[in-house]
Amino acid sequence: MIRSSIHLGRTLTAGALVAGLGLSSALLAPVASAHDTAIGGSITEGDVLDEFPEEITIEFSAIPRDGFNNFAVTDQATGEVLFSEEPEINERELTITTPEDQDPGDGDYMFGFQITSSDGHATRGGISFSVESGEGTASASETANGAAVDSEGAETPAEAAEEAEGMSTWMKWALAGVGVLAVIAVLAVMLAKRRGYDAE
């Protein structure tokens, strides 16, 4: 009876130890296999920049593995991928350079990334940002100034009315003159015919 109790106690102790180890493994497993995440960089979500960046650097929570890493920038208005390339790895920081033939200008953009995490799994993510250089505002101001100049050079309604009235008077005299000439011509023709009749 005593031996059975001792055996049962040992069995329960071993079972508790195994269960404890299993629980510890379960708690530690997510930490060991956690994917690398973006924790900072030259751009962050919702940034509004004065100009499009020449370089984009993203810092990750661990050092990604080399190979199968890709960064891309998309124009959110059109959905067009402006450029895509493999980033350079410097410890936890990955960097791409904007191609020289690209000059995106103002607009809303999405920076997307796909990397191979330190645990070997693929990690994807995106960061949206905008570029507002203020050139559009300057253009609007120039347009307003141009409109002001045009308005200064434009005639007032009174001036236009006076010109129209003067033109109307001139047209009246011109038409009157044409009418007089027409009447004279008709009279001349009639007079010529009458002379012809008288001669007969």
Q: How confident is the model at residue 45 (pLDDT cuts 50, 70, 90)?
A: very high
Give a yes or no: residue 17 inside a domain: yes
Alpha carbon distance 120, 25 (integer Å)? 20
Domain, as residue range, for 110: 38-136
Q: For 79-156, where are the alpha helices, taking DSSP H only?
A: 135-153
**Residues 61-110: tens digit of each pLDDT:** 999 999 889 999 999 999 999 999 999 999 999 999 999 999 899 999 99
Contact between residue 110 and residue 43 where contact means Cβ atoms under 8 Å apart:
no
Alpha carbon distance 98, 151 (integer Å)? 44
CATH number for the domain that contains residue 48: 2.60.40.1220
Other beta carbons less than 10 A from residue 192's beta carbon? 9
Q: How confident is the model at residue 140 (pLDDT cuts 50, 70, 90)?
A: very low
| 49 and 122 within one domain | yes
| 51 and 23 within one domain | no
Other beta carbons less than 10 A from residue 74's beta carbon? 19
Give a yes or no: residue 5 inside a domain: yes
